[in-house]
């Protein structure tokens, strides 16, 4: 069959249907996102099923992808299910041990801000605010220093709705979810009239002079794990074995993450293991840009080592066979 004949036959089949479609447009009614309901937790697939399905479909996943699913899954994610901070939880943090911690940080922020000139109105932005205790301690100091409700606003970047509810109940006199079109997803007021806003991403927080606090936040962000092999740096991946169990394997080739993240001076010296958070680097860059452009101060506190440790990945390890 020659090509012009094929073309004519195709035209006969395709063109009439194209014309018909041209006259057959009709408005499709899409569901209003505001009325969409989340599946009930009981009907949602388990985290393990989600991870295994992803590996079956796309091949081994990075430790960062694994962490992202395990931490942020809306129904079963680590911070979504229960209160994990405090005596009845899995760990305790400095603000939960003594109010002095938050109060000292507040005094440091005030002292540094005074050197810069007028600081009202002031936005306080906390990343991963846990139970909201640190902010309560900061507000106590600001109250003593004469800040009024209209001088300050609180902006909480929180991924977990469970933690968000705990924060709202402790900080606010009243609070409510807001329209889906707004940059924040929840808002409220403290007893002294300070406005409080919740976001799922730092990018959505208004650009203004701010105090940024990230206490034990960066260490929950997903990390990529790398190992030095005879062939150079390779990434640690999570795969499924023939018994349908998760296990670690080393990538055969340099992954994209190796090319982008393993750079001097990190890759030099005697180190044979590296843990790098691309998300953490992104958030740190955003903080630096915001302070640079709009003014303010950022205080990041985490507890770790000075580069001498290799493997520090502990969260949810029980899912993976080692
Ligand atoms: C280890 S806790 C620290 C809590 C608090 N800063 C403290 O010192 O008590 C980590 C907090 O970050 C939140 N979180 C985890 N991943 C997050 C993400 N990707 N974005 C925003 N918040 C996150 C958790 O829900 C929790 O509130």
The pLDDT tens digits of the residues spanning 60-87 come to: 999 999 999 999 898 889 998 888 898 8
Cβ count near 319 (within 10 Å): 14
The pLDDT tens digits of the residues spanning 271-282 come to: 899 999 999 999
- pLDDT (average), residues 175-190: 96
Domain-embedded: residue 86: no
How far, in Å, is the centroid of ligand 1 from the Cα of 255? 29
pLDDT beyond 70 at 211: yes
- Buried b / exposed e along 228-261 (16+ C-beta atoms within 10 A): beeeebbbbbbebeeeeebeeeebeeebebbeeb
Residue of 76, 91, 130 with the most ligand 1 atoms within 8 Å of its CB, for mutation: 130
**Tally of structural domains, the chain:** 1
Work out the end-to-end distance of the chain between its first and last CA atoms, rounded to an integer number of angstroms: 60
pLDDT beyond 70 at 7: no
Domain harbouring 143, CATH code: 3.40.50.150
Model confidence at 132, pLDDT cuts 50, 70, 90, reads very high
Domain that residue 201 falls in: 94-219
Find the DSSP H helices in 59-119: 63-72, 78-81, 94-97, 99-114
Domain-embedded: residue 208: yes
- Tell which atom from ligand 1 comes closest to the C-alpha of 160: 25
How far, in Å, is the centroid of ligand 1 from the Cα of 158? 7
Q: List residues near ligand 1 (CB under 6 A).
A: 71, 79, 85, 93, 95-96, 128-130, 134, 157-160, 163, 215-217, 220
- Tell which atom from ligand 1 comes closest to the C-alpha of 167: 27
How many Å apart are CA 158 and CA 214, to the nearest integer?
Answer: 11
| Cβ atoms of 103 and 143 closer than 8 Å | no
Model confidence at 321, pLDDT cuts 50, 70, 90, reads very low
Domain-embedded: residue 285: no
Residue of 132, 198, 220, 301 with the most ligand 1 atoms within 8 Å of its CB, for mutation: 220
Q: Please, what is the average pLDDT of the chain?
A: 87
């Amino acid at each position: 069959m020659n090509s012009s004949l094929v073309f004519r036959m195709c035209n006969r089949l395709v063109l009439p249907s194209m014309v018909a479609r041209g006259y057959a447009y009709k408005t499709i009614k899409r569901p209003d996102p505001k009325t969409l309901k989340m599946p009930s937790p009981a009907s949602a697939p388990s985290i393990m099923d989600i991870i295994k399905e992803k590996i079956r479909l796309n091949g081994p996943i990075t430790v960062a992808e694994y962490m992202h699913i395990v931490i942020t899954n809306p129904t079963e994610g680590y911070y979504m299910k229960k209160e994990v901070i405090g005596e009845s939880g899995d760990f305790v943090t400095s603000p939960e041990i003594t109010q002095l911690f938050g109060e000292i940080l507040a005094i440091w922020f005030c002292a540094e801000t005074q050197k810069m000139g007028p600081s009202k109105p002031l936005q306080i932005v906390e990343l991963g605010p846990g139970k909201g205790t640190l902010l309560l301690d900061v507000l106590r100091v600001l109250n003593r220093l004469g800040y009024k409700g209209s001088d300050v606003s609180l902006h909480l970047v929180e991924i977990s709705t469970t933690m968000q509810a705990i924060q709202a109940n402790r900080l606010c006199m009243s609070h409510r979810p807001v329209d889906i079109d707004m940059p924040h997803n929840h808002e409220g007021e403290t007893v002294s009239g300070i406005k409080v806003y919740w976001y799922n991403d730092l990018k959505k927080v208004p650009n203004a002079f701010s105090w940024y606090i990230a206490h034990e936040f960066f260490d929950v962000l997903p990390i990529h794990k790398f190992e030095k092999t005879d062939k150079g740096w390779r990434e640690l991946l999570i795969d499924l074995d023939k018994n349908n169990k998760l296990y670690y394997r080393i990538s055969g080739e340099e992954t994209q993450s190796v090319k982008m993240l393993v750079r001097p001076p990190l890759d030099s010296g005697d180190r044979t293991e590296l843990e790098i958070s691309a998300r953490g680097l992104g958030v740190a860059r955003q903080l630096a840009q915001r302070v640079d452009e709009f003014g303010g101060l950022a205080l990041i506190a985490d507890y770790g080592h000075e580069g001498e440790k290799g493997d520090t990945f502990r969260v949810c390890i029980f899912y993976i066979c080692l």
